[in-house]
Amino acid sequence: MSRVAFIGLGRMGRGMAARLVAAGHTVVVHNRSREKATDLLAVGARWAGSPAEAAAGAEAVLVMVSDDAASRAVWLGADGVLAGDPAADALAIECSTLSHDWVLELSAAVAAKGLRYLDCPVTGLPDAAAAGQLTLLVGGEPADVEAAEPLLRPLSVDRVHFGPVGAGTAYKLVINLMGAVQIAAAAEGMAMAERAGLDLDLVAATIAAGQAASPQVVRNTRRMVAGDHGTDVVFSGHLRRKDAAYGVRLAETLGVGAPFGRAALAGLDALVAAGLGDQNESSIIEVARRAQRPSV
């Protein structure tokens, strides 16, 4: 078993770290707030006061944080992972959903330190993380992916290796931008159904059984009907907006216009501007409800 540093104990990270503890690895954890580590420390994880301290002697470092800025601080900060002393040839596994350009920059910095880098964003919700039921979207050298298998297996039911470093992130940004478009379209459709006087419970149930159904659409249309956007936040508007922005940026880099992604991003910008960014992403229904028909 390995000595593993796990940094970032949010809704996803806590469950993932717990899976590694249960698999018998020696897991050293760090988070900006120690309170989020309480349950993990109770089952055998060890606490570190900084990313550098967590990484000392680690054979693998896994990170699960919110965005590029948080990732940069964890890896390259004054007390970041690369300021510490991981084991020679350690695996650096970044599980966060990040921009493609930052992933490439980070992988170069990691390689310069003699570590092996994998981008390994995930699909699945917090309950799937806690149950080891995630799908991992991996970019990296085949030998490094194989070396990481004992760490990745307890986290997931499927591990898809898309190609070299950056490939896993590219796929994650593609599907999350598609998700943003789907959710924005669902909000628009539900607002139309509401204005038309339809029974929204019946609308959501029929969507779930029809051709427009996807896990994103089904989950969010049900939340739109319930109107419980501020409780049990599964995926916030801020996070969806961040992922959509990273996806549009990648599209620009690739020369793809992304008109539908841009429209969804504009809706998410409006959601955040309305003060709804900390609520569940389903709150984008409020943007659709408030939108007025353009004047001709």
Active site residue ranges: 172
Which amino acid is it at 78? A
Structure tokens at 82: 């690369």
**Residue 86 and residue 115 in contact, taking contact as beta carbons nearer than 8 Å:** yes
C-alpha distances in Å from residue 73, one per residue of 53, 63, 127, 237: 14, 11, 27, 23
Residues 135 and 123 sit within 8 Å (Cβ to Cβ): yes
Pairwise CA distance, residues 258 & 254, whole Å:
10
Residue-wise DSSP of 100-140? HHHHHHHHHHHHHTT-EEEE--EES-HHHHHHT-EEEEEES
Q: Which residues have CB under 8 Å from 208's CB, separation 6+?
A: 218, 221, 222
Number of C-alpha atoms within 13 angstroms, CB side, residue 236?
15
Give SS3 for 272.
helix
CB 51 within 8 A of CB 77: yes
Please tell me the number of Cα atoms within 13 Å of 194 on its side-chain side: 15
Q: Coil, strand, or helix at residue 92?
A: strand
Place of tokens 């349950």: 39
Query: Which backbone phi and psi does 115 adopt, to 5 degrees?
Result: -100, 165
